[in-house]
Structure 1
Amino acid sequence: MTTSDQIYRAVESQISQRMLLPGDSIDEESLMTQFGVSRTPVREALVRLKSEGLVSSISRGGSIVSKMDVQQLVSVWELLSDLEGLCAGYACERMTRPERQALMDAHLAGEAAAEADDQVGWQQANMAFHEVLYAGSRNTFLRQEILRMRTRTVAYRSHSFGAVGDAMHAHLEHGQIAKAILERDAETAVRLMRAHLRPEGATLINLLQSLPKDMLR
């Protein structure tokens, strides 16, 4: 792995973990010091991040974590829900029996966090559940695209979680998806996953209204 790759992964990780939020500046000098390198590999990493839409240039120079306007956010969220649905369909067709059991185990493991409305614990349990599906889909390119979109929208989705629904509601939806996959009902699994990820109507309006204005373009 090149130094540029290491810097790319470090910044991407900070974005995905919400250590860097939309609109935050990327400190090139700090990255140069952290990795003991010249500006060149830092710029190379930023070019890659910009090509993926995670980072944007600003008119006065420098780079920030990309912001989205409402239309962009809704469009990416819509596509993410469709890709997650596609993943659920593939997984339903391709998962082995042990993998299906692992999916149910991942669902049950999140129950305590959901009951306690433990946001940190639930986010970890939620990601563990989806990762079982990504592996079960047998499609690494699909997983990469989903994770890229999750990283790009993580700050918006996490901040707006209360507007979409509480952890227990999401946990119950996971249970319905897992049941459909255990029963090898791909059509239902796809429909449930798309609905699980795509806020619509009044829920979408509440979600957008909950976002800080400085996170939007």
Structure 2
Amino acid sequence: MSERDPTQADAVRLAIESDIFNGRLAPGAPLEEGRLATRFGVSRTPVREAITQLVQAGIVSKSAHKRAVVANLDPGTLLELFEALSELEGAAAFLSTSRMAPGEKTELMAIHEAAAENLRTQGDPNAYAELGSAFHQIIVRGCRNKVLIDTAESLALRVLPYRRFQVVAAGRLERNQSDHDSIISAIFAGDARAARERIQRHTLEQGDALMRFIALHKTSHEDFYPTTLTEEQRL
């Protein structure tokens, strides 16, 4: 594996996210590339890529010629992000109900079924989260409105780490899957209003679940966010 393989950067990013969400890295704590590279047994390149991704998501802040530090995660701002995204995804789902191509509906169902299989077999929660992101992305892109797509995807990128993290909370995997089942049923039935309302409620509940998780759980979840890279990821 080359040093620029995204798997290394993703694994480092997930581990740093875990430290931040679990309180091991407080707001203002510096992220030093050298120390992180040593900790994870990688070069600085994937560490730098991971930090860049975290900056883009707003979890880490970095000014010109200054080192990266953990951003101050204001709960009010996080809830506003989820609130705004729920409105955008709701509008997209409303339009996608009538505009989504047959091939996109087939792909949406395939992703939904893959997520269900992951859940039944107690698969990798990280893989489930990736399927969940793809589920939302197809619905948004199916609206055929470029302005709406660009705006929603830009905001979804900022919310992605928080959206991914909340699925590890007790019962959220099953609840996420149930919500997706309800959303896809509305879209396939041609009920635009129900599709909009269900995805809006789903996204708002994700934000609420995240807030409860951060407030109540300060333990690590190494199975979801590895604190060290596997030998395969280091190669």
> The residue matched to 2:205 in structure 1 has which SS?
coil
CA RMSD, Structure 1 to Structure 2 (Å): 3.9
Tell me the amino acid that sits aligned with residue 85 of structure 1: G
Tell me the residue number matched to 2:14: 18
Q: State how far apart, in whole Å, the 2-side matches of 1:207 and 1:25 are.
A: 24
Report whether the alignment pairs 1:115 with 2:135.
no
Aligned partners of 2:75 and 2:101: how far apart in 1?
Answer: 40
Looking at secondary structure, tell me which structure has more helix per residue.
1
1:3 counterpart residue number: none
In structure 2, C-alpha distance between the alignment counterparts of 1:195 and 1:51, rounded to whole Å: 26
Determine what percentage of the aligned residue pairs are the same residue: 24
Q: Distance in 1 between matches of 2:207 and 2:132?
A: 24
One-letter code of the match for 1:206? Answer: R
Kept in 1: contact 2:183–2:195 (CA 8 A): yes
Q: Gaps spanning 5+ residues in structure 1: where? A: 1-9, 36-41
Who is 1:178 aligned against? Answer: 184
Counterpart Cα distance in 1 of 2:10 and 2:84: 23
Q: How many residues align?
A: 191
Residue 191 of structure 1: aligned partner: 197
Q: Cα distance 1:25–1:154, how it changes in 2: closer, same or farther (>3 A)?
A: farther
Q: Which amino acid in structure 1 is aligned with residue 196 of structure 2?
A: V
Change (3 A) 1:204 1:27: closer
Give the superposition deviation at 1:159: 3.1
The aligned residue for residue 209 of structure 1 is 215
Mark the CA change 1:69 to 1:158 in structure 2 (over 3 Å): closer, same or farther: same
Which of residues 92, 97, 100 in structure 2 aligns to 1:92?
97
Native 8 Å contact 1:14 1:20 kept in 2: no
**Structure 1 pair 168–51 and aligned structure 2 pair: CA distance change class (3 A):** closer
Q: 1:83, 1:131 → 2: CA distance?
A: 12
Partner Cα distance (2:206, 2:130) in 1 = 25
The whole-number CA distance in structure 2 between the counterparts of 1:201 and 1:128 is 18
Letter matched to residue 114 of structure 1 = L
Contact 1:160-1:210 within 8 A present in 2 as well: no
In the alignment, what sits opposite 1:102?
A: 107
Alignment of 1:36-185 (within 5 A): 53=58, 55-57=60-62, 61-118=66-123, 119-163=125-169, 165-185=171-191
- Tell me by how many angstroms 1:84 deviates: 1.6
Go from structure 1 to structure 2 and tell me whether the alpha carbon gap of 1:56 and 1:94 turns closer, same or farther (over 3 Å shift): same
- Alpha-carbon offset, residue 113 of structure 1: 0.8
Q: 1:144 to 1:16 in 2, by over 3 A?
A: farther
Relative distance call for 1:200 and 1:115 in structure 2 (3 A) is closer
In structure 1, distance between residues paired with 2:59 and 2:156: 11
CA 1:195–1:52 in structure 2 vs 1: closer, same or farther (change >3 Å)? Answer: closer
Greater alpha carbon shift after TM alignment, 167-176 vs 184-193:
167-176
CA distance in 1, matches of 2:211, 2:59: 25
Structure 2 regions of 5+ residues with no counterpart? 1-5, 21-26, 38-43, 220-235
Deviation at 1:122, TM superposition (A): 0.9
TM value normalised by structure 1: 0.67
